Structure 1
Amino acid sequence: MSSHPVLMHTALDATDVRGLAEFYRELLGVRYRPGDETPVEGEDWLVLVDGDGRRVLAFQWVPELARPDWPRHEVPKQMHLDFRVPSAAELERHRRRAEELGATLLLDRTGDAEEPLYVLADPAGHPFCLLVGSE
């Protein structure tokens, strides 16, 4: 047993909780925790879990959300998520998938030989990175 806190999940604010949860569910190939699968009127909290049932992301309703304007800083991103893939080919495949699911490309840094990556924004505007990396 650890004597330190353990991260349960990362929670993202959203004005459309189900819509943002669906984006990440499809992008990451995860599922809703039991009880969250069926949309409910007025839902304000959803959790996604991995194949082993471990919490991955949560989504909390807020009445309004200023969309980050990265790379400017008038509305800061406040946090972002990084997702790694094993190869340049997978990087391209997952960028296309993310855009098909509603993401917007913010930065193409695939020409960087040391760490090729894309910065995208999810449908609510939260920036996230897709990069080639190892564990």
Structure 2
Amino acid sequence: MTYPVLSCTALDARDPRALAEFYRELLGLHYRPGDEVPPPPAPDDTDWIVLLDAEEHRVLAVQGKPELRPSTWPSEEIPMQLHMDFRVPDAAELETQRARAEALGATPLMDRSHDPDEPLHVMGDPEGHPFCLLVG
């Protein structure tokens, strides 16, 4: 039997370039050829941006959605509809990556870094999508 294979995860964003840049920096990805930031003075009106890993596999795509309403998690007023988990090897790296994510524009949403079973931080990306940094 043949099964479908996940090509990548796509996220909606009011500002697709800014969100793509956030994840490009956070995860060490690069743009698919043709999706790079256009040189000035060309306008950046891209509404679908694909990010690749070092092996040129699609990892993440960002699409423009001007009317996006950010999740209000942990409140369910506007629920989270998807979140990603990013694994790090140990508690020291968890704190390093949390600080990096904040410097790149992420917002802390929950700190469970002292949980003995699964230390983690829940963060909101610049568009409000929750994601987890966890030791695992």
- TM class by shorter chain equals over 0.9
* 8 Å CA contact retained: 2:106, 2:125: yes
Tell me what 1:23 maps to.
Answer: 22
Structure 2 residue aligned with 1:126, among 126, 129, 135?
Answer: 129
- In 2, the alpha carbon distance for the partners of 1:41 and 1:117 equals 35
Aligned-residue Cα RMSD (Å) equals 1.0
| Correspondence 1:63-74 to 2 at 5 A | 63-74=66-77
Q: What letter matches 1:22 in structure 2?
A: E
> Structure 1: which 4+ aligned runs deviate by more than 3 Å?
none
Unaligned runs of 5+ in 2: none
* 8 Å CA contact retained: 2:37, 2:44: no
Deviation at 1:27, TM superposition (A): 0.2
Matched, 1:34 2:33: yes
Unaligned runs of 5+ in 1: none
Question: Identity rate of aligned residues, in percent?
Answer: 63
Tell me what 1:99 maps to.
Answer: 102
Aligned length: 132
Deviation at 1:54, TM superposition (A): 0.2
Tell me what 1:48 maps to.
Answer: 51
Q: TM-score, normalised by structure 2?
A: 0.94
Q: TM-score, normalised by structure 1?
A: 0.95
